[in-house]
Amino acid sequence: MKNIDPRKPYSLKNEQANQAIQELIAGAGGGEESDLLVQMITTVLKLQDEKVDRGDLKVLNTTIKELRWAFRIFRPYRSTRKVSVFGSARTKKTNPAYQAAIQFGKLIAKSGWMVITGGSSGIMQAGNEGAGLENSFGANIKLPFEQTANPVIANDRKLINFKYFFTRKLIFVKESDAICLFPGGFGTLDEGFEALTLVQTGKMMPRPIVMVDGRGGSYWRSWATFMKSAILKSKMINPEDMNLFQIVKTPQEARDVIVQFYKNYHSMRFVGDCLVIRLHNELSSKNLKKLNLSFKDIVLKGTIDSSSALTAESGEPELAHMPRLVFSFNHKSYGRLKQMIDQINSMGD
Protein backbone atom coordinates (compact mmCIF):
# COMPACT_ATOMS: atom_id res chain seq x y z
CA MET A 1 0.00 0.00 0.00
CA LYS A 2 1.27 3.47 -0.89
CA ASN A 3 2.04 5.56 2.16
CA ILE A 4 -0.07 8.72 2.38
CA ASP A 5 1.52 11.48 4.42
CA PRO A 6 -1.28 12.86 6.65
CA ARG A 7 0.51 16.23 6.73
CA LYS A 8 -0.34 16.77 3.07
CA PRO A 9 -3.16 19.26 2.44
CA TYR A 10 -5.68 16.62 1.41
CA SER A 11 -6.34 14.88 4.71
CA LEU A 12 -8.57 15.22 7.73
CA LYS A 13 -7.65 17.39 10.69
CA ASN A 14 -8.09 14.33 12.90
CA GLU A 15 -4.84 12.34 12.71
CA GLN A 16 -6.46 9.31 14.33
CA ALA A 17 -9.10 9.29 11.60
CA ASN A 18 -6.40 9.57 8.89
CA GLN A 19 -4.65 6.52 10.31
CA ALA A 20 -7.93 4.64 10.58
CA ILE A 21 -8.62 5.27 6.88
CA GLN A 22 -5.27 3.82 5.88
CA GLU A 23 -5.78 0.81 8.13
CA LEU A 24 -9.25 0.28 6.67
CA ILE A 25 -7.90 0.26 3.10
CA ALA A 26 -5.02 -2.03 4.06
CA GLY A 27 -7.41 -4.40 5.82
CA ALA A 28 -9.61 -4.52 2.70
CA GLY A 29 -6.69 -5.66 0.57
CA GLY A 30 -4.83 -2.46 -0.29
CA GLY A 31 -3.45 -2.55 -3.80
CA GLU A 32 -1.59 -0.26 -6.21
CA GLU A 33 -4.41 2.30 -6.29
CA SER A 34 -4.87 2.46 -2.52
CA ASP A 35 -3.76 6.10 -2.46
CA LEU A 36 -6.84 7.07 -4.49
CA LEU A 37 -9.14 5.01 -2.29
CA VAL A 38 -7.74 6.81 0.75
CA GLN A 39 -8.53 10.13 -0.91
CA MET A 40 -12.07 9.01 -1.77
CA ILE A 41 -12.84 8.01 1.81
CA THR A 42 -11.26 11.25 3.02
CA THR A 43 -13.61 13.13 0.71
CA VAL A 44 -16.64 11.34 2.14
CA LEU A 45 -15.63 12.20 5.70
CA LYS A 46 -14.95 15.81 4.72
CA LEU A 47 -18.55 15.96 3.52
CA GLN A 48 -19.64 14.95 7.00
CA ASP A 49 -17.52 17.70 8.56
CA GLU A 50 -18.94 20.26 6.14
CA LYS A 51 -22.55 19.43 7.03
CA VAL A 52 -23.58 18.77 3.42
CA ASP A 53 -27.34 18.38 3.21
CA ARG A 54 -29.00 15.04 2.51
CA GLY A 55 -30.07 15.95 -1.03
CA ASP A 56 -26.47 16.63 -2.11
CA LEU A 57 -25.26 13.46 -0.41
CA LYS A 58 -27.87 11.44 -2.31
CA VAL A 59 -26.58 12.85 -5.62
CA LEU A 60 -23.00 11.89 -4.78
CA ASN A 61 -23.99 8.48 -3.45
CA THR A 62 -26.00 7.60 -6.56
CA THR A 63 -23.26 8.91 -8.84
CA ILE A 64 -20.60 6.69 -7.28
CA LYS A 65 -22.90 3.65 -7.31
CA GLU A 66 -23.85 4.14 -10.97
CA LEU A 67 -20.28 4.61 -12.13
CA ARG A 68 -18.96 1.71 -10.07
CA TRP A 69 -21.50 -0.62 -11.64
CA ALA A 70 -20.90 0.71 -15.16
CA PHE A 71 -17.12 0.29 -14.83
CA ARG A 72 -17.69 -3.27 -13.63
CA ILE A 73 -19.88 -4.12 -16.63
CA PHE A 74 -17.49 -2.64 -19.20
CA ARG A 75 -14.24 -3.88 -17.67
CA PRO A 76 -14.19 -7.34 -19.34
CA TYR A 77 -14.66 -5.72 -22.75
CA ARG A 78 -12.09 -2.90 -22.49
CA SER A 79 -9.86 -4.44 -25.17
CA THR A 80 -12.68 -4.38 -27.76
CA ARG A 81 -13.31 -1.21 -29.76
CA LYS A 82 -16.76 0.30 -29.28
CA VAL A 83 -18.88 2.93 -30.98
CA SER A 84 -21.61 4.94 -29.27
CA VAL A 85 -24.68 5.18 -31.51
CA PHE A 86 -27.06 8.10 -31.03
CA GLY A 87 -30.38 8.94 -32.66
CA SER A 88 -34.05 9.51 -31.98
CA ALA A 89 -36.05 7.15 -29.77
CA ARG A 90 -39.07 8.08 -31.91
CA THR A 91 -37.75 6.77 -35.22
CA LYS A 92 -40.16 4.15 -36.60
CA LYS A 93 -39.05 0.81 -38.02
CA THR A 94 -40.34 1.92 -41.44
CA ASN A 95 -38.06 4.96 -41.45
CA PRO A 96 -34.98 4.61 -43.71
CA ALA A 97 -32.83 5.86 -40.83
CA TYR A 98 -33.92 2.89 -38.70
CA GLN A 99 -32.90 0.46 -41.42
CA ALA A 100 -29.62 2.32 -41.89
CA ALA A 101 -28.87 2.00 -38.17
CA ILE A 102 -29.53 -1.75 -38.33
CA GLN A 103 -27.17 -2.06 -41.25
CA PHE A 104 -24.52 0.01 -39.50
CA GLY A 105 -24.74 -2.20 -36.43
CA LYS A 106 -24.27 -5.31 -38.57
CA LEU A 107 -21.31 -3.86 -40.45
CA ILE A 108 -19.46 -2.55 -37.41
CA ALA A 109 -19.97 -5.82 -35.53
CA LYS A 110 -18.54 -7.74 -38.49
CA SER A 111 -15.50 -5.46 -38.20
CA GLY A 112 -14.94 -6.68 -34.63
CA TRP A 113 -16.55 -3.73 -32.84
CA MET A 114 -19.30 -3.47 -30.23
CA VAL A 115 -22.01 -0.81 -30.03
CA ILE A 116 -23.22 1.27 -27.08
CA THR A 117 -26.71 2.72 -27.42
CA GLY A 118 -29.12 4.45 -25.07
CA GLY A 119 -30.86 1.10 -24.77
CA SER A 120 -34.31 2.40 -25.71
CA SER A 121 -36.44 2.40 -28.87
CA GLY A 122 -35.94 3.91 -32.31
CA ILE A 123 -32.35 4.29 -33.52
CA MET A 124 -31.09 2.82 -30.25
CA GLN A 125 -33.02 -0.41 -30.78
CA ALA A 126 -31.91 -0.52 -34.41
CA GLY A 127 -28.25 -0.24 -33.42
CA ASN A 128 -28.57 -3.07 -30.91
CA GLU A 129 -30.59 -5.15 -33.35
CA GLY A 130 -28.00 -4.82 -36.08
CA ALA A 131 -25.00 -5.53 -33.87
CA GLY A 132 -26.70 -8.40 -32.05
CA LEU A 133 -27.00 -8.94 -28.34
CA GLU A 134 -23.47 -10.31 -27.89
CA ASN A 135 -22.01 -7.12 -29.38
CA SER A 136 -24.33 -4.64 -27.65
CA PHE A 137 -24.43 -2.45 -24.58
CA GLY A 138 -27.35 -0.36 -23.43
CA ALA A 139 -26.98 2.78 -21.30
CA ASN A 140 -30.59 3.52 -20.45
CA ILE A 141 -31.88 6.59 -18.61
CA LYS A 142 -34.79 6.41 -16.19
CA LEU A 143 -37.53 8.71 -17.51
CA PRO A 144 -41.29 8.84 -16.95
CA PHE A 145 -41.81 8.40 -20.72
CA GLU A 146 -40.17 7.19 -23.91
CA GLN A 147 -37.19 5.40 -22.39
CA THR A 148 -38.05 1.79 -21.54
CA ALA A 149 -35.38 -0.71 -22.57
CA ASN A 150 -35.74 -2.16 -26.04
CA PRO A 151 -36.44 -5.91 -26.37
CA VAL A 152 -32.98 -6.65 -27.82
CA ILE A 153 -31.07 -5.57 -24.71
CA ALA A 154 -33.81 -5.54 -22.02
CA ASN A 155 -32.80 -8.67 -20.12
CA ASP A 156 -29.07 -8.58 -20.75
CA ARG A 157 -26.42 -7.90 -18.13
CA LYS A 158 -24.87 -5.31 -20.47
CA LEU A 159 -27.90 -3.03 -19.98
CA ILE A 160 -27.17 -0.34 -17.39
CA ASN A 161 -29.93 1.88 -16.03
CA PHE A 162 -28.86 5.39 -15.05
CA LYS A 163 -30.66 7.96 -12.94
CA TYR A 164 -28.52 10.87 -14.07
CA PHE A 165 -27.81 12.07 -17.58
CA PHE A 166 -24.30 13.19 -16.66
CA THR A 167 -23.16 9.75 -15.49
CA ARG A 168 -24.74 8.15 -18.55
CA LYS A 169 -23.06 10.64 -20.88
CA LEU A 170 -19.70 10.06 -19.21
CA ILE A 171 -19.97 6.34 -20.00
CA PHE A 172 -20.91 7.02 -23.63
CA VAL A 173 -17.67 8.91 -24.20
CA LYS A 174 -15.35 7.15 -21.74
CA GLU A 175 -16.06 3.63 -22.97
CA SER A 176 -16.23 4.34 -26.70
CA ASP A 177 -13.67 4.81 -29.47
CA ALA A 178 -16.04 6.44 -31.99
CA ILE A 179 -19.36 8.27 -32.18
CA CYS A 180 -22.02 7.61 -34.82
CA LEU A 181 -25.04 9.90 -34.98
CA PHE A 182 -28.31 9.41 -36.83
CA PRO A 183 -31.07 12.06 -37.01
CA GLY A 184 -32.61 12.85 -33.64
CA GLY A 185 -33.97 15.47 -31.30
CA PHE A 186 -32.52 17.55 -28.47
CA GLY A 187 -30.83 14.56 -26.89
CA THR A 188 -29.03 13.52 -30.06
CA LEU A 189 -27.84 17.07 -30.73
CA ASP A 190 -26.75 17.43 -27.11
CA GLU A 191 -24.71 14.22 -27.32
CA GLY A 192 -23.20 15.24 -30.64
CA PHE A 193 -22.25 18.73 -29.47
CA GLU A 194 -20.81 17.38 -26.24
CA ALA A 195 -18.58 14.93 -28.15
CA LEU A 196 -17.39 17.73 -30.43
CA THR A 197 -16.75 20.03 -27.46
CA LEU A 198 -14.77 17.38 -25.58
CA VAL A 199 -12.54 16.65 -28.57
CA GLN A 200 -12.14 20.32 -29.50
CA THR A 201 -10.98 21.17 -25.97
CA GLY A 202 -8.79 18.09 -25.50
CA LYS A 203 -10.95 16.65 -22.72
CA MET A 204 -11.49 13.59 -24.91
CA MET A 205 -8.87 12.11 -27.20
CA PRO A 206 -9.52 12.47 -30.95
CA ARG A 207 -11.90 9.92 -32.42
CA PRO A 208 -14.17 9.62 -35.45
CA ILE A 209 -17.46 11.49 -35.04
CA VAL A 210 -19.64 10.38 -37.94
CA MET A 211 -23.09 11.68 -38.87
CA VAL A 212 -25.28 9.52 -41.10
CA ASP A 213 -27.78 11.36 -43.27
CA GLY A 214 -28.94 8.35 -45.24
CA ARG A 215 -29.68 8.41 -48.93
CA GLY A 216 -31.95 11.33 -49.75
CA GLY A 217 -31.71 12.72 -46.21
CA SER A 218 -30.45 16.20 -45.38
CA TYR A 219 -30.66 16.36 -41.57
CA TRP A 220 -26.92 16.61 -40.89
CA ARG A 221 -26.15 18.57 -44.04
CA SER A 222 -28.67 21.18 -42.87
CA TRP A 223 -27.00 21.15 -39.47
CA ALA A 224 -23.59 21.63 -41.12
CA THR A 225 -24.97 24.60 -43.08
CA PHE A 226 -25.99 26.18 -39.77
CA MET A 227 -22.54 25.45 -38.34
CA LYS A 228 -20.88 27.22 -41.26
CA SER A 229 -23.24 30.17 -41.62
CA ALA A 230 -23.87 30.94 -37.95
CA ILE A 231 -20.95 29.58 -35.93
CA LEU A 232 -17.94 29.38 -38.23
CA LYS A 233 -18.78 32.62 -40.03
CA SER A 234 -18.99 34.38 -36.67
CA LYS A 235 -15.54 32.98 -35.80
CA MET A 236 -16.90 31.15 -32.75
CA ILE A 237 -14.95 28.09 -33.89
CA ASN A 238 -11.84 27.73 -36.03
CA PRO A 239 -12.03 26.46 -39.63
CA GLU A 240 -10.10 23.31 -38.69
CA ASP A 241 -12.77 22.45 -36.10
CA MET A 242 -15.02 21.50 -39.01
CA ASN A 243 -12.67 18.52 -39.49
CA LEU A 244 -13.74 17.05 -36.15
CA PHE A 245 -16.79 15.45 -37.75
CA GLN A 246 -17.73 13.81 -41.04
CA ILE A 247 -21.15 13.54 -42.70
CA VAL A 248 -21.83 10.42 -44.75
CA LYS A 249 -24.75 9.05 -46.74
CA THR A 250 -24.56 5.33 -46.05
CA PRO A 251 -23.91 2.92 -43.15
CA GLN A 252 -21.03 1.47 -45.18
CA GLU A 253 -19.35 4.88 -45.35
CA ALA A 254 -19.85 5.35 -41.61
CA ARG A 255 -18.24 1.99 -40.88
CA ASP A 256 -15.35 2.73 -43.24
CA VAL A 257 -14.63 6.15 -41.68
CA ILE A 258 -14.53 4.63 -38.18
CA VAL A 259 -12.37 1.64 -39.07
CA GLN A 260 -10.00 3.76 -41.19
CA PHE A 261 -9.32 6.06 -38.23
CA TYR A 262 -7.59 3.18 -36.47
CA LYS A 263 -5.80 1.80 -39.54
CA ASN A 264 -2.39 2.87 -38.23
CA TYR A 265 -3.26 5.18 -35.34
CA HIS A 266 -3.92 3.26 -32.12
CA SER A 267 -4.13 5.71 -29.23
CA MET A 268 -2.41 8.64 -27.55
CA ARG A 269 -1.55 10.03 -24.15
CA PHE A 270 0.38 12.91 -22.63
CA VAL A 271 3.65 12.28 -20.81
CA GLY A 272 4.73 15.52 -19.19
CA ASP A 273 4.89 18.13 -21.93
CA CYS A 274 4.98 15.53 -24.70
CA LEU A 275 2.12 14.06 -26.70
CA VAL A 276 2.75 10.38 -27.41
CA ILE A 277 0.93 8.88 -30.40
CA ARG A 278 0.97 5.09 -30.59
CA LEU A 279 0.95 3.44 -34.00
CA HIS A 280 0.46 -0.05 -35.33
CA ASN A 281 3.28 0.42 -37.83
CA GLU A 282 6.30 2.72 -37.76
CA LEU A 283 6.36 5.58 -40.25
CA SER A 284 9.17 5.79 -42.77
CA SER A 285 11.63 8.68 -42.49
CA LYS A 286 10.09 10.12 -45.65
CA ASN A 287 6.59 10.17 -44.14
CA LEU A 288 7.88 11.53 -40.84
CA LYS A 289 9.45 14.40 -42.74
CA LYS A 290 6.10 15.05 -44.46
CA LEU A 291 4.36 15.25 -41.09
CA ASN A 292 6.90 17.74 -39.78
CA LEU A 293 6.42 19.93 -42.83
CA SER A 294 2.62 19.75 -42.79
CA PHE A 295 2.00 20.12 -39.06
CA LYS A 296 4.80 22.29 -37.72
CA ASP A 297 2.10 24.81 -36.71
CA ILE A 298 0.90 22.55 -33.88
CA VAL A 299 4.39 21.80 -32.52
CA LEU A 300 5.46 24.13 -29.71
CA LYS A 301 9.15 23.32 -29.90
CA GLY A 302 11.41 20.77 -31.53
CA THR A 303 10.04 18.29 -34.07
CA ILE A 304 7.78 15.27 -34.38
CA ASP A 305 10.07 12.33 -33.65
CA SER A 306 9.85 8.55 -33.79
CA SER A 307 10.23 6.79 -30.46
CA SER A 308 9.81 3.54 -28.61
CA ALA A 309 7.71 3.32 -25.43
CA LEU A 310 8.62 5.93 -22.83
CA THR A 311 9.55 5.01 -19.27
CA ALA A 312 6.42 6.74 -17.99
CA GLU A 313 4.32 4.26 -20.00
CA SER A 314 5.58 1.24 -18.06
CA GLY A 315 2.12 0.78 -16.55
CA GLU A 316 0.77 -0.23 -19.97
CA PRO A 317 2.95 -3.24 -20.93
CA GLU A 318 0.43 -4.46 -23.51
CA LEU A 319 1.24 -1.37 -25.61
CA ALA A 320 5.01 -1.42 -25.14
CA HIS A 321 5.75 -2.99 -28.54
CA MET A 322 4.08 -0.21 -30.53
CA PRO A 323 6.14 2.47 -32.29
CA ARG A 324 5.48 6.04 -31.19
CA LEU A 325 5.47 9.59 -32.44
CA VAL A 326 6.45 12.08 -29.74
CA PHE A 327 6.29 15.88 -29.87
CA SER A 328 5.45 18.99 -27.89
CA PHE A 329 1.81 19.68 -28.81
CA ASN A 330 0.34 23.17 -28.42
CA HIS A 331 -2.72 21.82 -26.54
CA LYS A 332 -5.20 23.79 -28.61
CA SER A 333 -5.21 22.70 -32.26
CA TYR A 334 -7.24 19.51 -31.92
CA GLY A 335 -8.87 19.98 -35.31
CA ARG A 336 -5.41 20.00 -36.85
CA LEU A 337 -4.40 17.02 -34.72
CA LYS A 338 -7.36 15.12 -36.17
CA GLN A 339 -6.09 16.05 -39.64
CA MET A 340 -2.66 14.75 -38.70
CA ILE A 341 -4.10 11.39 -37.61
CA ASP A 342 -6.02 11.16 -40.88
CA GLN A 343 -2.81 11.81 -42.80
CA ILE A 344 -0.93 9.17 -40.78
CA ASN A 345 -3.62 6.63 -41.62
CA SER A 346 -3.44 7.44 -45.32
CA MET A 347 0.34 7.15 -45.58
CA GLY A 348 1.86 4.23 -47.41
CA ASP A 349 5.43 3.01 -46.95
- 30-56 pLDDT, tens digit per residue, is 788 899 999 999 999 999 888 899 999
Q: Tell me, yes or no, whether 177 and 153 share the same domain.
A: yes
pLDDT of residue 3: 54
Q: Total domain count for the chain? A: 3
Across the range 206-214, mean pLDDT stands at 95
pLDDT of residue 317: 93
Confidence bin at 342 (pLDDT 50/70/90): very high
Q: Tell me, yes or no, whether 59 and 173 share the same domain.
A: no
The amino acid at 68: R
Q: How many Å apart are CA 114 and CA 132, to the nearest integer?
A: 9
Q: Looking at the domain assignment, is residue 9 inside a domain?
A: no
Burial string for 80-104 (b: 16+ CB within 10 Å, else e) reads: ebbbbbbbbbebeeebebbbbbbbb
**Of 261, 290, 312, which one is at a domain's C-terminal end?**
261
Q: Looking at the domain assignment, is residue 175 inside a domain?
A: yes
Q: Tell me, yes or no, whether 89 and 232 share the same domain.
A: yes
Q: Looking at the domain assignment, is residue 4 inside a domain?
A: no
Confidence bin at 9 (pLDDT 50/70/90): low
Q: How many Å apart are CA 185 and CA 347, to the nearest integer?
A: 38
Q: Distance of CA 84 to CAs 21, 87, 195, 218, Å?
A: 38, 10, 10, 22
Residues contacting 268, CB < 8 A, separation 6+ = 205, 206, 275, 276, 277, 278
The amino acid at 51: K
Q: Looking at the domain assignment, is residue 10 inside a domain?
A: no
Q: Tell me, yes or no, whether 221 and 279 share the same domain.
A: no
Confidence bin at 121 (pLDDT 50/70/90): very high
Q: Looking at the domain assignment, is residue 3 inside a domain?
A: no
Q: Tell me, yes or no, whether 94 and 148 share the same domain.
A: yes
Across the range 135-148, mean pLDDT stands at 85
Residues contacting 26, CB < 8 A, separation 6+ = 1, 34
Q: Distance of CA 188 to CAs 8, 182, 199, Å?
A: 44, 8, 17
Percent of the chain with pLDDT over 70: 96
Cα angle value 164/168/170 (rounded, 5°)? 120
* pTM summary value: 0.92
**Of 29, 59, 74, which one is at a domain's C-terminal end?**
74
Which range (120-134, 202-216, 240-254, 257-271) has the least confidence? 202-216
Burial string for 230-263 (b: 16+ CB within 10 Å, else e) reads: eebeeeebeebbeebbbbbbbbebbbebbbebbb
**Of 261, 288, 305, which one is at a domain's C-terminal end?**
261
Strand partners, 82: 114
Q: How many Å apart are CA 195 and CA 191, to the nearest integer?
A: 6
pLDDT of residue 142: 84
pLDDT of residue 147: 64
Q: How many Å apart are CA 349 and CA 342, to the nearest integer?
A: 15
Q: Tell me, yes or no, whether 88 and 52 share the same domain.
A: no
Given a cut of 70, is residue 146 above it in pLDDT?
no
pLDDT of residue 29: 85
* pLDDT single digits (tens) 257-296: 999 999 999 999 999 999 999 999 999 999 999 999 999 9
Q: Looking at the domain assignment, is residue 1 inside a domain?
A: no
Across the range 316-333, mean pLDDT stands at 95
CATH number of the domain to which 195 belongs: 3.40.50.450
Across the range 305-323, mean pLDDT stands at 94
271: domain range?
A: 265-346
Given a cut of 90, is residue 348 above it in pLDDT?
no
Q: Looking at the domain assignment, is residue 150 inside a domain?
A: yes
Q: Tell me, yes or no, whether 136 and 170 share the same domain.
A: yes
Task: Give the mean pLDDT of the chain.
Answer: 94
Given a cut of 90, is residue 102 above it in pLDDT?
yes
- Judged by phi (left if over 0) then psi (alpha if -120 to 50, else beta), residue 129 lies in alpha
Torsion angle in degrees (nearest 10) through CA of 256, 258, 260, 264: -160
Neighbours of 315 (CB within 10 A): 7
Given a cut of 50, is residue 6 above it in pLDDT?
no
